[in-house]
């Protein structure tokens, strides 16, 4: 880890780091907010996964989360959304495939399979790296995210029982097998066998018996991608009801898909995670 930026905020520090990723076989950049409590001892962590087209910069600049993280003594770990750089494949004319659109899966089809292993990066490599190098409580972590990142947060928690104390999401892609974003990326990254897709679909995982103590989702009713059938929270809600998986799905009247929506409710999410993190 090489520190490339450090900014003081709310008594703590917003840092940006670069490192070489073994999972993604390329240099990666990520941000960490260390609250003021980290100067005196190790703290728990909340991982934030961003959505399509984002880098680590969107959340740390637009969400206003650092104020609440400082209040609760929680570190924020903010990875990029995909591998990047020379030699990393991309489809520049598409925002929903390639760089900026890693979908938090381990790709198995060329040309994506060499670098696009964001599931391993987020679940295994990055937690090990930051816990070894920063004042974080080992294994005491929760996860959240937005849109594609909400999908990533849900599958990371559901596929790894006990790894995360809690999981929440804003406007998550809940059932990528049935939405056009998911179909497009999963076909490219995973091939045409939809049985392999199900391992990265939160609705399918709940239907297969995966569970968490509770799941919190906020979804805006004026979200254009909700209306377009990309997010499908109703499918996830139905699966949770059938499986008796505790779910708080809050339909927030009039809110859209933007960071204005996230900034409105991020304080409530961080407080919710803080209770689970102790």
Query: Tens place of pLDDT for every residue, the chain, 278 residues?
Result: 999 999 999 999 999 999 999 999 999 999 999 999 999 999 999 999 999 999 999 999 999 999 999 999 999 999 999 999 999 999 999 999 999 999 999 999 999 999 999 999 999 999 999 999 999 999 999 999 999 999 999 999 999 999 999 999 999 999 999 999 999 999 999 999 999 999 999 999 999 999 999 999 999 999 999 999 999 999 999 999 999 999 999 999 999 999 999 999 999 999 999 999 99
Catalytically annotated residue among 147, 166, 168, 171: 147
**Tokens coding 82:** 């995909």
* pTM score: 0.97
Given a contact cutoff of 8 angstroms between Cβ atoms, the answer to whether 261 and 220 are in contact is yes
Respond yes or no: is residue 223 known to be catalytic.
yes
Q: Among the options 80, 201, 218, 223, which is catalytic? A: 223
∠ at Cα 151 (145, 156), nearest 5°? 85
The pLDDT tens digits for 107-165 are: 999 999 999 999 999 999 999 999 999 999 999 999 999 999 999 999 999 999 999 99
- The first and second tokens of residue 244, run together, are 């008796």
Active site residue 115: no
Cα–Cα distance between 272 and 170 in angstroms, integer?
A: 14
Edge-to-edge strand ranges of the sheet holding 12-21: 2-9, 12-21, 26-34, 75-79, 43-49, 136-145, 167-170, 215-220, 247-252
- Cα distance between residue 261 and residue 270, in whole Å: 15
Give the three-class secondary structure for 123: helix
Question: Does the annotation mark 113 as catalytic?
Answer: no
- CA 167/CA 40 separation, integer angstroms: 27
């Amino acid at each position: 880890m090489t520190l490339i930026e450090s900014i003081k905020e709310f008594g703590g520090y917003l840092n940006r780091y670069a490192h070489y990723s073994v999972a993604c076989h390329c240099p990666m950049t990520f941000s960490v907010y260390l609250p003021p409590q980290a100067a005196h001892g190790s703290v728990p962590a909340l991982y934030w996964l961003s959505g399509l087209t984002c880098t680590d910069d969107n959340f740390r600049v637009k969400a206003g989360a650092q104020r609440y993280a400082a209040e609760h003594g929680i570190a924020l770990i903010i990875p990029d959304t995909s591998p990047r750089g020379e030699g990393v494949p991309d489809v520049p004319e598409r925002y929903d495939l390639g760089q900026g659109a890693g979908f938090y899966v381990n790709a198995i089809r060329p040309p994506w399979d060499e670098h696009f292993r964001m599931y391993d990066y987020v679940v295994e490599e990055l937690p090990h790296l930051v816990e070894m190098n920063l004042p974080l409580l080992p294994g005491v972590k929760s996860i959240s995210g937005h849109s594609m990142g909400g999908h990533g947060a849900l599958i990371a928690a559901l596929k790894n029982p006990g790894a995360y104390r809690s999981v929440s999401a804003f406007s998550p892609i809940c059932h990528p097998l049935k939405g056009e974003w998911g179909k497009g990326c999963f076909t490219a990254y995973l091939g045409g066998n939809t049985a392999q897709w199900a391992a990265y679909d939160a609705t399918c995982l709940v239907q297969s018996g995966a569970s968490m103590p509770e799941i919190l989702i906020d979804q805006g009713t004026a979200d254009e991608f909700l209306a377009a059938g990309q997010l499908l929270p109703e499918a996830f809600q139905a699966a949770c009801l059938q499986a008796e998986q505790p779910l708080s799905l809050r339909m927030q009247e009039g809110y859209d898909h933007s960071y204005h929506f996230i900034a409105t409710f991020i304080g409530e999410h961080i407080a919710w995670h803080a209770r689970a993190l102790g």
